[in-house]
Structure 1
Amino acid sequence: MTSILDQYKQAAQASYRTKPPAEPMISSGYINMQLEDNVPMFTKQKMNLNPSDLITHAAVSSDNLVVAMANGKLFRMDIRNPDSEQEIHYSKYCQPTSKLSGLFLDPLGCHLLMSFSSKTKDGCPELAYIHQKSSKLKFVSKIPNYEITEVGWNFENTSNNMTGPILLGTSKGHLLETELEPNNDKMFIASEHYWRQIFDIGKGADTPITGIKFHRVAGTNKYCIFVTTPTRIYQFIGHAIFSENKPSLKSVFYPYLTIPETGFQEIPSTLKYSELQYYFDKNEMPKTFAWLTEQGIFYGQLDPTSQQNSNSVVTQGSLVTYPSGPDGKEIPPLSFVLTEFHTLLMYSDRVKVVSLLNQELVHEDIYSEAHGKLKTIIRDLKKRQIWVFTEKKIFRYKIVREERNLWQIYSDKEQFDLAREYCQNNPAFLDIVNMKQADLFFSKGEYERSAEIYAETQRSFETICLKFLEAEQFDALKKYLERRLESLTDDDKTLISMIVIWMTELYLSQLGTLRRTGRGDSSEYHQMQSDFEVFLLHPKVSKTMRHVKSVIYELMSSHGDKQNLLKLTMINEDFENVVSQYVYRKNYLEAINALQNLKRPDLFYQFAPVLMEAAPKHMVNALIAQGARLSPSKLLPAFLSCQNDEAHITEITRYLEFIVVHFNVKDKAIHNYLLTLYAEHDQQALMRYLSRQGQDIALVNYDVHYALRLCREKNASEACVKLSALLGLWEGAVELALRVRLALAKSVAALPDCPHVQRQLWLHIAEHVITKNQDIKEAMSFLEECPLIKIEDILPFFSDVVTIDHFREPICQSLQEYNNQIEETKAEMEEATKAAKYVRDEIHSFRGRSVRVSASSGCCACDLALLLRPFYLFPCGHHFHADCLTAEITPMLGAAKRSKLGDLQRQLSVLSNIELSTATSSGLPLREVLKNEIDDIVANECIYCGEHMISCIDKPFISDEDWDRVMKEWE
């Protein structure tokens, strides 16, 4: 529990927190009581741990905490298990002249290296190893006389027993590669064949290595190694050689052994120490790095895939300066840690938090002298926790939303996309960022881009509009109005109407200016016209136009913009107004063009009478272009109201012919009107029309009786013949055809389907022709044309003076035909007589036919003795018991016969003997009648030789239901 003194100190430290500068809310329309989060970004918590002596060194990794104390003991604890506290007296394993100079814990928290330096010049430095599960120090015996100042751990290692290949840095600038692994006696030592010196940065000078970090580029064998000294940071990039899935980092340094040292950044410093820190992303890949120098924190982004420079993976490197101390000087910290957006700088009595983005001090914690001096600050890379160790106490920092002020920082740096990303959807912050970016674009002259962003802000509508009007940036003003229009809801009707009217005025004004200056055909004009059309089609605009269309019409009329007025009426569906204006001004062709563009059938019906009268050819062309979209019957009143001159009749006929031929119109009124025009003006076209309609009265589309009456009035005789024949008035049609021409009468006589009617018509034609000129040759030709007429049919039509000698040949031919018919009749009679005699003989032979059944004969169905039960015997020789045959035949019967058979059997079994003995109308007892009917059904034919067997030829022997059963029986 926190003591009262600590609570007082924490409250006092709040005064040291540097607050971000307040942003004046001059543009935001949002109500925001407090922009700054009340929860502190960085808060420290004192841990309930009391080391037995002053802390000299510390290390934390994966919730494993190790503290070295002045009394020569190690304090270890698993933070997740507070009961795991353990103290190890390490000093008893060391030489009296050795002192602890470094404590290095691997990322897994399992492997701890302790570096010892000599207190005297004659002493030798040492390196000790202790495992998490061990309480004894094991000194690495194979190590040369080097003092280890830094360890580069292998972040890919997942083994708790082996460290994997690691790098060691010495006080002389040597880089060593080794791996710690167990030997046969399970004691952890440095294996000799994994011990090698791979590079020398010092080149013989005392250049201590203060930082080593290395990592592999994902998916490759490429490694990036960072090494720092107090004044330099080195980059070594190369490919490692793998052996037994273990990399050899020595190969990375091969190219650097023969080339001058160029892959380093040097910052002069008088400090004897420095640090190198990584920040890892969520995928545990290094994202950024930071290097502590005297002049500041050298900070940069890491991008191993960058193609800009193959010798460096650092991008956007910069120097973060230190905050000024009480005396105004920038004092370098003793240690630091790196977070995603901040760095925590540790001094002897305080911790300062500096933003990496704007280098401002955002937080400061002053530690009481009661806790002792600060020794180190550590970030647990795995658990992402920050620990601060003083001489007496241990603290842990809690970070709450360290990105909360990034939106403001990025906004000040004019990185607005990043600023919006970190606004966390806070509308007040977003409004401030958008306002800054819009003002920036406006100041740079990028007015349209500024307009797009101004529309997303809450700044006064009038203020922004005045800014663009004063700058005479009408395109940007339109862009702003358009974006504001999209953001408005349907409830903002007044503002929507105002914007729509204003934007329409701007478009019309700009289009009019371009036309007046002779640029009406330029690409600029066409683009603006296209934008205006898109604007008119906007759903909100088109909806608003219906309410303010009178104002918009007046605007367009004042600008003389007829083209856009027409388009607007199309959008508002106010088509009648435009066409009426054209008709009123007698601009008939423009009215017709407008109708074609509008595609409103009801307007065609409304204006067709006037336009057909004024411009028949153009109107008919427009009607034909509409095709099936128009109903021809609704246009008939317009056609009937036209003058009956040749021009109008020709165009009306042309339209009716088009609609009948191409769209197969069957409306009787249309066909009757077309037939009337043909009968009055073009009888040849009338005959072609009647021929196309055919001779089936059920398929013609006109009124036949009306057509016949009309043709009689117009003296169209040939048409009357065709129509009379269509109505079945054959005699009248032939009579009328004989008045026209003989060939027409013959064609009519050949039409009836009834031979008797055809014969009567041909006789009528023959009588007319023979009576008229008594031409024997022509009479003979009738006999050839119509086989229904004989010589004896036409003889009465000749006069008495004509001798029979002229008809000798046809009469003889007719008599010969009669003789042939008599002979054919005789042959048929003789054949019928023979067939009847054969049938009588067959019947007589069946009377004496018999079949013998022996006592051993069996039923063909059940193989039992046939004579045991009533049986049926067929002429083919098959015999069945009556019940066996019934059982066999029943499934083969239809549903009706099966039902009747069951009913007959039921009557035989239910009725009494007296009822069965009752005589029926045929004189037979009821029993005999029932049995005869059953026999007719059951024994109608043999089931093996009759039609039942033939019908079963395509049926399988085994049904699907019985297949499984049969298969099991066969098995």
Structure 2
Amino acid sequence: MTSILDQHEQASQIYHRNKPVTEPMTSSGFINMQMDDNNPIFSKQKMNFNPSDVITHVTVASDFLVLAMANGKLFRMDLKNPDQHEEIEYSKFYPNGKLTGIFLDPLGFHLLLVITDRNKDGYPELVYLHRRSGKLKSVSKSRNYEVTEVGWNYENTSESNTGPILLGTSQGHILETELEADSDKMFTANQHYWRQIFDLGRGTDMPITGIQFHRIGKSNKFFIFITTSTRLYQFMGPALVTDGKLSLQSIFYPYLTTPETGFLEIPSTLKYSRLQFYFDKTDVPKIFAWLTEPGVFFGQLDTMSQQNSNSVFTHGDLINYPAVSDPTQVEKAPISFVLTEFHVLLMYSNKVKAVSLLNKELVFEETFSEVHGQLKSLIKDPKRKTIWAVTEKAVFRFKVMREDRNVWRIYCEREQFELAKEYCQHNPAFTDIINVKQAELLFTKGQYQESASIYAETQNSFETVCLKFLEKDELHALKVYLFKRFEAIDDDNKTLISMIVIWMTELYLSRLGFLRRTGNENSETYHQIQSDFEVFLLHPKVMKCMQHIKSVIYDLMSSHGDQQNLIKLTLMNEDYENVIEQHIYKKTYLEALNMLQNLKKPELFYQFVPTLIEEIPKQTVNTMIAQGARLNPSKLLPAFLSCQSDELHVTEIIRYLEFMLQNFNMKDKAIHNYLLTLYAEYDNKTLMKYLERQGMDVLMVNYDVHYALRLCREKELTEACVKLSALLGLWEAAVELALRVGLSLAKEVAGMPDESEQQRQMWLTIAEHVITKNQDIKEAMNFLQECPLIKIEDILPFFSDVVTIDHFREPICQSLEEYNNQIKELKTEMEEATASAEYVSSILLLILFQAFQFSFILSRKFCNLSDLIPGIVRDEIQSFRNRSALVSVTDTCYLCDIALLLRPFYLFPCGHKFHADCLLTEILPTLCKMPFCSIELTLTYMDQPCFLLISLIRYLKKVIFI
């Protein structure tokens, strides 16, 4: 529990802010917020530990604390296990000795005590104590040397060996040695070697107050910092490695024979000074600080890139000690100090102050109560980075809380904006303030483009920033700002995106237009701006925005007369319609046609072919032919109809339509009608060939025959009208028209009808035309020979009354002779038909008679059978009496498949065999139930009389048994 006294001390702690937040955040889009942490950067906490006597010395490393007290005892404690601590008495071994220094290696295992004689009569002693031992051991070769500082080896990882270390003495000597504990676990000190490698005093006493050495990068080169009360020395050089052992002596070789140089001197009346290093997370030294009387001198260390340099520190600066609040008082210099990344903590006899390394201002002050005694030391654990303040009666630990919280503001005020952004902890409000100040600074310096780039990252008003650049007429900087803002805008803010895209397009077009007007179209500047403009148009967000505002951009480009960029933009947006329109606008028809050909989009052909075929008909038709079946000629008809201005255009249109008909067998009636119209208008010969190819079947032709006939009549194309009239079956009209053309065409038409009567009527028409016109008997006779359908009697009425019969004697006799022959042929045919009929009826009656022997039935109706059977039938009956048929034992009935000879049977002339009962069973249902109709005589039954018998029975039942 914290005591009342401790609470009073904490309440009295003074925490100084760097600077309150006073600037309004009107330039930012962020809300006003608390920008500093109210908690102090440094705060102390007293350890629950009461030493047995006054503390005189202290050291700490790797959470291992060692205190030396006035009663001659050492107090050792593992800070991780505070309950495990011990006290070791050292004064009984050196009763006249006085402890002047205590040093602990970074690992916390090797402790060195420096003891001098109180009476100045004896020799100083260097005592070694291992962490796991309570036995003190004197380092034998250290006599005559009063060690004032130890330079530990930070690369050492051994718990039993210190590795090469450097010792500084009160005379200014630099010693190199290596200490190792005995293997018998007595942990006595064995020095492998002990040698003096340099003398800073050069014969005069110059106490060493600080030693630090570290490797430079990953090389074999080291740097060594050594301080006295007034000087800071820097040594650099390669270390010597022998049998795996490192030796630092070689580093000093170059300095043995040179004048005393390579040091920094600051006058001081103090008998002491302090040297401190700050290490980053990888234990690489980054900052050093040297406490002197005027102040703390510090600088940045660069051990990675300074391998070939003579110095490893840069940006050295001196921090003056903060002034006291009461000007009448004079405050002594600090006794000790600790270096952190951004601050230096100064220890006075009764207080601790923290000063910023960046702005050198006091940020913290802590006064210690007199109850705890005076401050004895302020130290830092080199491994754990913890800070400890030790008074005569207490031990305090300082806690560091976000010491970089205000670093960004300091860097910002120092115009180190990149560092300010690095340390603002990604706070958007802080980052915005930094960017605003950086942009304003660049703007005041005239670096407008750089300023615009930074302004785009701020939350400043868009309009305000744009006006700043417009007032300066810095359009290029404005363009940079707009593009940066454009990239940062969220995709949902479509309005602002559209506005920026339009504005930037205007800026690019204006600049390009100005260069064109001034004759700089081929300059490098023009090409660079053009390239930037094309890159801008290809930006994904721009391309997406173009889908909504492309018409505005097109109009904008058109207003600037920039057809080249307009075509490029339409190509980027795949707005090919506008591309072709622009080519047509520029009258670059071939480029427009090439674009159409490469795109292979039929819908664009239908749109632009009317214009292109009007301007370049041959090339346009060639392109359409190359498209083949991708184009529908029916959709091109409006384009064809709009450009029939001369024979050249018509020829190319006919060429295209003929190609489509020949190669793709087009059936569209509109196409054929249009082609037929062109033929009728411009090429009559080809029209007749076309009609011939289409054929004479009205159902198979692809054009409208009635339209074609009407058209040909209007154009007075008689021959075509003849063809079309014949196709429609208008034979009389066809012949009449053909007679106007020529007799041969009329005769050809007369032979077309399938019906002979129609042909005859047409030939009579031709004959009437020929005879009434010429009255040429010889020609009429030749005409009779050509057409066998007409006779002399058909043409006689066409002759005039003056023509006598003598002129037709021969044709008339020939005609009568032909009629006589026809009469004879008809008579012969009639006789043959009569004989055939008698024969067929006789055969039928004979079959009926033999099959059923219906004599008893017939006797009832007829008195004499011979009245029914003619002579030819009697002859047939007589022939049947002499006929016979063989029946085999294996023969079976055709109905039941049982042996025929088992029961009475019928044998028919055709070869069929039936049992009598089977045949009766088969016939009775037919006689009783089947309707009576005419005899069913078929080819099948003619070869099977037995089945013909059944049909005859049906007939006789109807005729006889009525």
After the TM superposition, which residues 101-112 of structure 1 pair with which residues of structure 2 at under 5 Å, given as runs? Answer: 101-112=100-111
Query: In structure 2, what is the equivalent of residue 227 of structure 1?
Result: 226
The CA distance in 1 between the partners of 2:79 and 2:245, in whole Å, is: 32
Q: Is the 8 A contact 1:241 1:249 kept in 2?
A: yes
TM superposition shift of 1:49:
0.9
The CA distance in 2 between the partners of 1:607 and 1:306, in whole Å, is: 69
Query: In structure 2, what is the equivalent of residue 90 of structure 1?
Result: 90
TM superposition shift of 1:354:
1.7
After the TM superposition, which residues 519-598 of structure 1 pair with which residues of structure 2 at under 5 Å, given as runs? Answer: 519-549=520-550, 551-569=552-570, 576=577, 592=593
After the TM superposition, which residues 315-354 of structure 1 pair with which residues of structure 2 at under 5 Å, given as runs? Answer: 315-327=314-326, 332-354=333-355
Residue type of the alignment partner of 1:348: S
Deviations 1:251-278 (A, max 9, x none): 2222221222222222222211111112
CA pair 606-12 structure 1, distance change in 2 beyond 3 A: same
Query: Are positions 1:301 and 2:300 aligned together?
Result: yes
Query: Are positions 1:425 and 2:426 aligned together?
Result: yes
CA pair 653-65 structure 1, distance change in 2 beyond 3 A: farther
CA pair 169-611 structure 1, distance change in 2 beyond 3 A: same
Q: Find the structure with the greater CA-based Rg.
A: 2
The CA distance in 2 between the partners of 1:588 and 1:17, in whole Å, is: 76
TM superposition shift of 1:110:
1.2
Query: In structure 2, what is the equivalent of residue 199 of structure 1?
Result: 198
After the TM superposition, which residues 378-389 of structure 1 pair with which residues of structure 2 at under 5 Å, given as runs? Answer: 378-389=379-390
The CA distance in 2 between the partners of 1:136 and 1:585, in whole Å, is: 104
State the TM-score, normalized to the length of structure 1. 0.64
TM superposition shift of 1:211:
0.8
TM superposition shift of 1:285:
2.4
Residue type of the alignment partner of 1:317: G
Aligned to 2:432, the other structure's residue is in SS state helix
Q: Is the 8 A contact 2:149 2:167 kept in 1?
A: yes
Residue type of the alignment partner of 1:4: I
The CA distance in 1 between the partners of 2:487 and 2:659, in whole Å, is: 49
Deviates more, 1:534-543 or 1:34-43: 534-543
Query: In structure 2, what is the equivalent of residue 415 of structure 1?
Result: 416
The CA distance in 1 between the partners of 2:456 and 2:600, in whole Å, is: 38
CA pair 174-518 structure 1, distance change in 2 beyond 3 A: same
The CA distance in 1 between the partners of 2:181 and 2:548, in whole Å, is: 89
Q: Which runs of 5+ in 1 are unaligned?
A: 685-703, 708-712, 716-971
Aligned to 2:498, the other structure's residue is in SS state helix
Deviations 1:614-656 (A, max 9, x none): 32134346658x8689547677647865659774477569889
After the TM superposition, which residues 718-737 of structure 1 pair with which residues of structure 2 at under 5 Å, given as runs? Answer: none
TM superposition shift of 1:79:
0.8
The CA distance in 2 between the partners of 1:172 and 1:348, in whole Å, is: 28
Query: In structure 2, what is the equivalent of residue 276 of structure 1?
Result: 275
CA pair 545-116 structure 1, distance change in 2 beyond 3 A: same
CA pair 244-669 structure 1, distance change in 2 beyond 3 A: farther
CA pair 619-527 structure 1, distance change in 2 beyond 3 A: farther
Deviations 1:18-40 (A, max 9, x none): 55554442322212420002332
Residue type of the alignment partner of 1:171: S
CA pair 50-549 structure 1, distance change in 2 beyond 3 A: same
Query: In structure 2, what is the equivalent of residue 731 of structure 1?
Result: none
The CA distance in 1 between the partners of 2:262 and 2:628, in whole Å, is: 82
CA pair 257-75 structure 1, distance change in 2 beyond 3 A: same
Query: In structure 1, what is the equivalent of residue 855 of structure 2?
Result: none
The CA distance in 2 between the partners of 1:46 and 1:207, in whole Å, is: 37
Q: Is the 8 A contact 2:51 2:393 kept in 1?
A: yes
The CA distance in 1 between the partners of 2:246 and 2:423, in whole Å, is: 40
CA RMSD of aligned residues (A): 4.1
Aligned to 1:236, the other structure's residue is in SS state strand
Q: Is the 8 A contact 2:74 2:88 kept in 1?
A: yes
Residue type of the alignment partner of 2:387: I
Aligned to 2:84, the other structure's residue is in SS state strand
Aligned to 1:409, the other structure's residue is in SS state helix
After the TM superposition, which residues 560-959 of structure 1 pair with which residues of structure 2 at under 5 Å, given as runs? Answer: 560-569=561-570, 576=577, 592=593, 601-620=602-621, 631=631, 637=637, 641=641, 643=644, 647-648=648-649
Query: In structure 1, what is the equivalent of residue 832 of structure 2?
Result: none
CA pair 643-550 structure 1, distance change in 2 beyond 3 A: closer
Deviations 1:908-944 (A, max 9, x none): xxxxxxxxxxxxxxxxxxxxxxxxxxxxxxxxxxxxx
Residue type of the alignment partner of 2:521: G
Q: Is the 8 A contact 1:325 1:331 kept in 2?
A: no
Aligned to 2:371, the other structure's residue is in SS state helix
Alignment identity in percent? 63
Query: Are positions 1:137 and 2:111 aligned together?
Result: no
The CA distance in 1 between the partners of 2:134 and 2:224, in whole Å, is: 33
Q: Is the 8 A contact 1:612 1:638 kept in 2?
A: no
Query: In structure 2, what is the equivalent of residue 511 of structure 1?
Result: 512
The CA distance in 2 between the partners of 1:289 and 1:81, in whole Å, is: 32
Query: In structure 1, what is the equivalent of residue 253 of structure 2?
Result: 254
The CA distance in 2 between the partners of 1:657 and 1:41, in whole Å, is: 95
The CA distance in 2 between the partners of 1:132 and 1:580, in whole Å, is: 92
Query: In structure 2, what is the equivalent of residue 60 of structure 1?
Result: 60
Residue type of the alignment partner of 1:9: E
Deviates more, 1:593-602 or 1:469-478: 593-602
CA pair 71-521 structure 1, distance change in 2 beyond 3 A: same
CA pair 327-585 structure 1, distance change in 2 beyond 3 A: closer
Deviates more, 1:129-138 or 1:234-243: 234-243
Deviations 1:760-801 (A, max 9, x none): xxxxxxxxxxxxxxxxxxxxxxxxxxxxxxxxxxxxxxxxxx
Deviations 1:844-865 (A, max 9, x none): xxxxxxxxxxxxxxxxxxxxxx
Aligned to 1:301, the other structure's residue is in SS state strand
Query: In structure 2, what is the equivalent of residue 468 of structure 1?
Result: 469
Aligned to 2:287, the other structure's residue is in SS state strand
Residue type of the alignment partner of 1:520: E
Aligned to 2:144, the other structure's residue is in SS state coil
Q: Is the 8 A contact 1:214 1:226 kept in 2?
A: yes
CA pair 605-131 structure 1, distance change in 2 beyond 3 A: same
Q: Which runs of 5+ in 2 are unaligned?
A: 687-699, 704-716, 720-962
Query: In structure 1, what is the equivalent of residue 370 of structure 2?
Result: 369
Q: Is the 8 A contact 2:234 2:311 kept in 1?
A: yes
Residue type of the alignment partner of 1:100: L
CA pair 467-391 structure 1, distance change in 2 beyond 3 A: same
Query: In structure 2, what is the equivalent of residue 79 of structure 1?
Result: 79
Query: In structure 1, what is the equivalent of residue 935 of structure 2?
Result: none
Query: Are positions 1:214 and 2:207 aligned together?
Result: no
TM superposition shift of 1:667:
7.3
The CA distance in 1 between the partners of 2:159 and 2:443, in whole Å, is: 61
Deviates more, 1:502-511 or 1:154-163: 502-511
The CA distance in 2 between the partners of 1:243 and 1:660, in whole Å, is: 100
State the TM-score, normalized to the length of structure 2. 0.65
The CA distance in 1 between the partners of 2:277 and 2:459, in whole Å, is: 42
CA pair 315-651 structure 1, distance change in 2 beyond 3 A: farther
Q: Is the 8 A contact 1:178 1:191 kept in 2?
A: no
TM superposition shift of 1:193:
4.8
CA pair 535-221 structure 1, distance change in 2 beyond 3 A: closer
Aligned to 2:141, the other structure's residue is in SS state coil
Q: Is the 8 A contact 1:601 1:629 kept in 2?
A: no
Query: In structure 1, what is the equivalent of residue 163 of structure 2?
Result: 164
The CA distance in 2 between the partners of 1:192 and 1:614, in whole Å, is: 106
The CA distance in 2 between the partners of 1:141 and 1:580, in whole Å, is: 103
The CA distance in 1 between the partners of 2:598 and 2:507, in whole Å, is: 26
CA pair 179-568 structure 1, distance change in 2 beyond 3 A: closer
Residue type of the alignment partner of 2:163: G
Q: Is the 8 A contact 1:335 1:376 kept in 2?
A: yes
CA pair 17-435 structure 1, distance change in 2 beyond 3 A: closer
TM superposition shift of 1:68:
0.8
Residue type of the alignment partner of 2:121: D
The CA distance in 2 between the partners of 1:270 and 1:3, in whole Å, is: 41
Deviations 1:279-303 (A, max 9, x none): 2222222222222122222222222
The CA distance in 2 between the partners of 1:460 and 1:614, in whole Å, is: 55
Residue type of the alignment partner of 1:66: V
